[in-house]
């Protein structure tokens, strides 16, 4: 007979929540793989956040010329 599952302790629940924030599960070649999540700023990806800044001087100072396309005339 199988052993019944036990409830997680508070520390185990916190550790599980931290792992879920840090990693995500995806499928690669039919296998489930754990990968790190992309960094987020205010709930949006870093690239999306940079696009919303729309400051050509800041983009130039940080060498992000690929985002400055729309400012060229």
Tracing tokens 């790190």 back to the chain, one arrives at 36
pLDDT in tens, the chain (73 residues): 899 999 999 999 999 999 999 999 999 999 999 999 988 888 888 888 887 877 778 888 888 777 776 555 5
pTM here is 0.53
DSSP states of 34-54: EEEPPPEETTEEHHHHHHHH-
Using CA atoms, how far apart are residues 65 and 60, in angstroms rounded to an integer? 6
The residue ranges of every structural domain in the chain are 13-71
């Amino acid at each position: 007979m199988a052993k019944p599952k036990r409830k997680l302790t508070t520390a185990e629940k916190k550790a599980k929540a931290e792992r879920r924030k840090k990693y995500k599960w995806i499928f690669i070649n039919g296998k489930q793989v754990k990968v790190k999540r992309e960094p987020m700023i205010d709930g949006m990806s870093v690239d999306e956040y940079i696009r919303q800044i729309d400051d050509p001087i800041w983009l130039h100072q940080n060498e992000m010329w690929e985002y400055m396309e729309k400012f060229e005339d």
